[in-house]
Amino acid sequence: MDGNGRWAKERGLPRRKGHEEGGQSIRAIMQAGLKLGIDILTFYAFSSENWKRPEEEVRGLMALLPRMLSKHENILHDNGTRLRAIGRIEGLPDHARKELDRVMAATESYTDRHLVLALNYGSRTELADAAQRLARQVQAGELDPESIDEEALAGALYAPDLPDPDVMIRTSGEQRLSNFLLWQLSYAEFVFVPEYWPDFREEAFVRALQQYEQRDRRYGGVNPC
């Protein structure tokens, strides 16, 4: 979700306003996803590198998170959507963590759809955490090092039950991964769109998905036709 700051700057508004409008885009994309039959959406909301931003901006984002969660919780309940979080969520401030835990627990039994928020997330950290988890199992005598394969590593990630994403969309014209789902995106299609995140609503989402639909996914093989 890139471009909140630029969106605000172009309007002479504080960056906070860009993040607030970006929060509205999350709601719009969730609703569009429901309409389009997309069952799993993952939003990169706060990276482990985002703590480097000015304190006031970080504080604003950490205040926006619980506000957004309580405001949009009804969409989750109405549509059987389970809220998940990936990242070192123990590093979030208590007030944000508390509301996140509450809504995750309240939606825990839903299995139809998943809304995943990447919070205090970094993919290299996720892989390091997975390596630590496996190492502890080896140390405890529960795991044979020879049996550590792709499946075992994937199983030690933050949300091992979720399938790899089909498509990764980044807004605002930047063409980077920025430490996002490095393992899980190995075979995903990447779509980079020019809109700033606060301007990324249903129409732009559909256009991005149309680009994805035109791709020929071969997973390293050849197309039989």
Residue 50 touching ligand FPP (CB under 6 A): yes
Cβ closest to ligand FPP, residue 93 vs residue 155: 93
Site string for ligand FPP, 95-134 (x = CB under 6 A): ----------------------------------------
Could you confirm whether 120 is annotated as catalytic?
Answer: no
Closest approach, Cβ 207 to ligand FPP, in A, equals 19
Closest approach, Cβ 61 to ligand FPP, in A, equals 4
Number of amino acids touching ligand FPP (CB under 6 A): 18
- Are 4 and 26 in contact by the 8 Å Cβ rule? The answer is no
3-class DSSP string for 29-57: HHHHHHHHCCCEEEEEEEECCHHHCCHHH
Cβ closest to ligand FPP, residue 95 vs residue 215: 95
Site string for ligand FPP, 5-44 (x = CB under 6 A): xx------------x--xx--x------------------
- Residues near ligand FPP (CB under 6 A) are 1-6, 19, 22-23, 26, 45-46, 50, 61, 64-65, 68, 197
